[in-house]
Amino acid sequence: MKMSDQYCTFFLDGLFFGVEVRMVQEVIRYQELTRVPLASRAISGLMNLRGQIVTAINLRQRLGLPERTGSKLPMNVVVRTDDGAASLLVDEIGDVQTVDADAFERIPDTLHGEVRTLIKGAYKLPDRLLLTLDITKAATPETEK
């Protein structure tokens, strides 16, 4: 029997990312954020999600990608981590993608910089490459040096 995995997908700066569906709490539109003084630049702020305080991570900043341009607001992918819920701010939400577990490949050599350290690997899909994000690392911004 062939094993398969499911990923909640999203786009960031033209790249196609996925996080395991079992790690996702929900996907919601942009919410107002409260700034956190002296926090890492990757932390956009805190949001109140039905009484639960959730840290919003600017995933573009975290991955070392250019800042978002234009007036389109990011979307929230709320994930569950060992430290509680965190929101990943992304450009656009994709679909739930089912992939064959044995099609998993190591991190592509074409990825460089911070993004390379936060990716587990990739799946080659017919029309694009699905980069699998390491939620534990991505949702834990490094402290400023």
Residue 143 falls within a domain, yes or no? Answer: no
Q: Distance (Å, rounded) from C-alpha 76 to C-alpha 52? A: 15
Q: Is residue 48 part of a domain?
A: yes
Report, in this order, helix, strand and coil percent for the chain, each rounded to 5.
10, 50, 40
Q: Which residue has the higher pLDDT, 79 or 103?
A: 79
Judge whether 145 lies within some domain. no
The pLDDT of residue 41: 87
Domain holding 106: CATH number? 2.40.50.180
Domain that holds residue 133: 4-138
Question: Which parts of 13-140 are beta strand (E)?
Answer: 15-20, 24-28, 43-49, 52-58, 75-81, 84-90, 92-100, 119-124, 129-133
63 found inside a domain: yes
Of all residues in the chain, what percent carry a pLDDT higher than 70?
Answer: 95
Rounded-to-integer distance, Cα 134 and Cα 111, Å: 15
How many structural domains comprise the chain?
1
Please name the residue ranges forming H helices in 3-93: 59-62
Q: Give the integer Cα–Cα distance in Å for 47 and 36.
A: 11
In a domain, 144, yes or no: no
How are strands ordered across the β-sheet holding 24-28? 24-28, 75-81, 84-90, 52-58, 43-49
Residue 32 falls inside a structural domain: yes
Reported as a single tens digit per residue, the pLDDT across 33-84 is 999 998 888 999 999 999 999 999 999 999 888 888 888 899 999 999 888 8
- The answer to whether residue 114 sits within a structural domain is yes
Residue 35 in any domain: the answer is yes
**In this structure, what are the phi and psi dihedrals at residue 61, rounded to the nearest 5 degrees?**
-65, -45
Q: Which amino acid is at 38?
A: L
